[in-house]
Chain A
Amino acid sequence: MSPPSKVAVVGVGITKFGRRLDATHPDLAWEATKRALETAGIWIDDVDAVVYGTMDPFDGVAAPERWDSAAYGAGRGSGKPIIKVTTGGTTGMSIALLAHALVASGKYDVVLATGVQKVSENIEAQQVLNTAVDPLTDRPLGIGAIAVGAMQASAYYFKYNRRIEEYMALVASKNRINALRNPVSHLQIRLTPEEALMSPYLIWPVKLADSCPSSDGAVSVVMVSDRAAKRIGNAHAWVKAVDYIADTYWFGTKSDPADWTNLALLARRIYRKAGVRDPYRFFDVMELYDAFSIQEILEYEALNLAPPGQGTRLLEEGVTEFHGQLPVSPSGGVLSSNPVGVTGLWRFAEAALQVMGRAGEHQVKGVQRALAHAWGGALQFHALAILSSSPE
């Protein structure tokens, strides 16, 4: 049996995020795809297969991959192999993981991974998200994503740190300021920690400044086999390892929301797979899924950058700032743009851009290894990907 192919990212296309009333669903799909193909130096006919993802209920069109399919060359000849994946907040990374598997397995040499989301098509994203929770026990309570983030923050407050709101404000400020360097970012605001602390509560202890926006946008990534990488792309980000974990929906059967233990379990798994002994030294940059500022602190701890309850230290020491030792979300992160079903692929794409040295104004110097993360469901799904400048 021959070994699996190595997989490289050779092209990335990211649309402007925000309320994109100027574009239809297929427009966004094409905008991202065209940019990804151009950066890879190929055309749609060079693409063997497409992996597409979205969270349909936000957009008012179920299965929009069919409507969007002309953007991927499905209108040419007998079409293309297109496969749709949808796993909640992790959808974007699930797209990347399936595209990776299709290339690594030797099935295809050139795969386009694409996600499109148009949250502005619905009246209120939280009401749509409320349809995800159990219709008998949880839906009548009006639970949406904010309630889930607040549960994590309040649990952390009581278990570890009564000053957690101050640290959440540091995360909110850091990522919003990072976003000023990224032209695709939805929110472009110079937010100070003091201003973040003064913003109104949504659900205690989560404030408006601690929360992500609802964004429209699309991301496309071209992934190729090592064989194809010899002829495609000027810069490559090699996918060193990927993994995914799914936990239970029911909160009563999950661990304390103050600790993201399912992410910690996944981190240990992927670190073992990629030979990561000290993540703090191994990685040069991380793009984490911080839909709420508390989550970035929980992620530091789950990813073994700090012991449980000690993630705030990284913020005190400025480690994760843009010029820190381990910058986290230099793109501005999810706190600045959240095209939900695409966001995970955007984390993956930003990590790839950093490794390729193509992140533009928000490029971190000397990046060789990057980690991308996404979470989804009822704090129950996580996906991780490790990208490297070297195929080895």
Chain B
Amino acid sequence: MGRTMILGGCVTEMRDPEPKNEAFYMLPFRAAKCVLDSYSLDPGDIDFVVSTGYDIVDGRMISNMYSGMASGGFLKYESRIADDGTLALAYADALIRSYEGELGLVVGYAAREVDLSLASLQTLDPFVYRPVGINYIVQFAMQASAYLNQFRLLSKWDELASTIVVGDRRAASLNPRAHLKGGLTREELAREDYIVWPLRKSMVSPMTRGAVALLVGDESAARQLMLDTGVEVKSIRWFTDSYYFGFNKQLTMILPLARAAREAYVEANVSNPLKEIDFYEVSDVTPAHYMMELEALGLSKIGGSSRLVESGEVGPDSPIIVNRSGGSLSTDPYPAGGLLKVYEAYLQLTGKAGPVQIKGSLRRGLVHGYSYISGFMGQTHSVVILEGG
């Protein structure tokens, strides 16, 4: 099978959802056009376009009628998934490996035409969960409180959460591509009101408007167009767990992420992630998720990641480098969040990350994608392992 390479990419400005001063499809247009312009490509060079987007978030049915064209899909093989953008990358990977296309664009955007809390309620069934009103933030809070209770972390929560949130924001302050840059102290966080206990406002990822486009292809396409070979997608794995409680669904352990990570490690020949992966970009939609995600990725035993946070062993500048970009707590253009992290990992592996570039030679990075708007507690998690040349 062919090898899938990330050959480049572009991001638009990541910013607050307001003002909405242009049509939603201008976001993917600007990101895709930037890629074509940056790499001196003609639209005719592109074989396919795969995007990610949600009708309900875009406020109109079949929104890819507009965004597909705007993403460069005119007269191309074009498709759209409605999950985190890392799964659009999985689609592109399958097209390249099955020789359906050599060069393509993977595009994700977050226009925020609709409030995500309302959209997430609409993804719940009308009989059991929706009438209770448990939108995605309430679901996050349920997971967070269960985690804190189960592992007796309630007394340490404010300290742990502020370490993670302030750490992300500090990293984001150096990242020109981030949305919320710095500007938050531990004291300020402690004074914030709870949205839903135990989550204060800055403990939930922000609503970010922006777009990402990645140029992907196989090695022969890269050679033909005289592009740098970029970084290889060594593995993409994802799992969706149960919608209902009672089917092995866990509040405090992210089983689908653990399974995806295990399979990705095998596929990428990683036997010890702590030694063989140089950095991680995780979808830390809350500080509690940050800790659960480290555990699911095998960086700590279950319930033990708080010790890594307390000791400073994990973080943007720590020995275990997590969310050098600033993470989801600083920038969250859902459903393009996973793609943005893939782009950040690509920049790290090619030495182009600018002020947030990690020192030293980097070989492998891991990205975690989380489709959290859909269904109950999101259910779908993905792992992408990238390897530099």
A residues adjacent to B (C-beta < 8 A): 1-5, 25, 55-57, 60-63, 65-70, 74-88, 94, 97-98, 100-102, 104-107, 128-129, 131-132, 134-135, 242-249, 262, 265, 376-378, 380-381
Return the 7 tightest CB-CB contacts between A and B, nearest first: A66-B375, A75-B247, A104-B98, A105-B97, A246-B78, A63-B374, A101-B94
Residue in B79, B96, B119 whose CB lies within 8 Å of A62: B119
Stretch at the interface among B29-37, B251-259, B272-280, B339-347: B251-259
0 or 1 for each of B64-107: is its CB under 8 Å from A? (1 = yes): 11101100011111111111000100110111111110000000
Nearest chain A CB to B99's CB is how many angstroms away? 5
* Complex A-B: 20 CB contacts under 8 Å: A2-B1, A63-B375, A66-B374, A70-B243, A75-B248, A79-B239, A81-B260, A82-B240, A86-B55, A86-B81, A94-B79, A101-B95, A101-B98, A105-B94, A105-B95, A106-B98, A134-B66, A243-B77, A246-B77, A246-B78
Check if B56 sits within 8 Å of A56, measured CB to CB: yes
Cα distance A4–B98 in the bound complex, in angstroms: 5
Q: A83-B87, A86-B82, A265-B75 are in contact. Are A107 and B94 (CB under 8 A)?
A: yes
Cα distance A390–B54 in the bound complex, in angstroms: 38
Q: A74-B379, A88-B65, A107-B94 are in contact. Are A79 and B83 (CB under 8 A)?
A: no
8 A Cβ contacts from B113-128 to A: 119, 122-126
Q: A83-B91, A249-B66, A378-B65 are in contact. Are A78 and B259 (CB under 8 A)?
A: yes
Residues of B within 8 A of A61 (CB): 122-126
Which residue of B has the minimal Cβ distance to A89? B62
Cα distance A76–B249 in the bound complex, in angstroms: 9
Nearest chain B CB to A115's CB is how many angstroms away? 13
Which residue of A has the minimal Cβ distance to B125? A67
Q: A246-B75, A248-B74 are in contact. Are A74 and B241 (CB under 8 A)?
A: yes
Residue in A55, A78, A98 whose CB lies within 8 Å of B239: A78
Nearest chain B CB to A151's CB is how many angstroms away? 16
Check if B81 sits within 8 Å of A62, measured CB to CB: no
Check if A86 sits within 8 Å of B80, measured CB to CB: yes
Check if B1 sits within 8 Å of A106, measured CB to CB: yes
Cα distance A29–B230 in the bound complex, in angstroms: 41
Nearest chain A CB to B94's CB is how many angstroms away? 4
8 A Cβ contacts from B330-388 to A: 373-376, 379-380
Which residue of A has the minimal Cβ distance to B69? A248
> Does B112 count as interface, using CB distance less than 8 angstroms?
no
Check if A98 sits within 8 Å of B79, measured CB to CB: yes
Nearest chain B CB to A61's CB is how many angstroms away? 6
> Does B226 count as interface, using CB distance less than 8 angstroms?
no
Q: A88-B65, A98-B91, A380-B65 are in contact. Are A83 and B242 (CB under 8 A)?
A: no
Check if B76 sits within 8 Å of A245, measured CB to CB: yes
Nearest chain A CB to B87's CB is how many angstroms away? 5
Nearest chain B CB to A103's CB is how many angstroms away? 8
Q: A85-B81, A88-B64 are in contact. Are A1 and B240 (CB under 8 A)?
A: no
Check if B77 sits within 8 Å of A82, measured CB to CB: no
Cα distance A4–B123 in the bound complex, in angstroms: 36
Residues of B within 8 A of A78 (CB): 239, 241, 248, 255-256, 258-259
Cα distance A341–B149 in the bound complex, in angstroms: 43
Q: A66-B376, A131-B61, A380-B65 are in contact. Are A85 and B82 (CB under 8 A)?
A: yes
Nearest chain B CB to A107's CB is how many angstroms away? 6
Nearest chain B CB to A7's CB is how many angstroms away? 9
Cα distance A248–B75 in the bound complex, in angstroms: 8
Nearest chain B CB to A308's CB is how many angstroms away? 19
Residues of A within 8 A of B258 (CB): 78
Residues of A within 8 A of B243 (CB): 66-70, 74-75
> Does B39 count as interface, using CB distance less than 8 angstroms?
no
Cα distance A381–B75 in the bound complex, in angstroms: 9
Residues of A within 8 A of B259 (CB): 77-79
Check if A97 sits within 8 Å of B79, measured CB to CB: yes
Residues of A within 8 A of B69 (CB): 246, 248-249
Cα distance A392–B380 in the bound complex, in angstroms: 37
Residues of A within 8 A of B373 (CB): 63
Residues of A within 8 A of B241 (CB): 69, 74-75, 78-79
Residues of B within 8 A of A77 (CB): 248, 255, 259
Which residue of A has the minimal Cβ distance to B1? A106
Cα distance A82–B60 in the bound complex, in angstroms: 24
Cα distance A67–B91 in the bound complex, in angstroms: 23
> Does B2 count as interface, using CB distance less than 8 angstroms?
yes
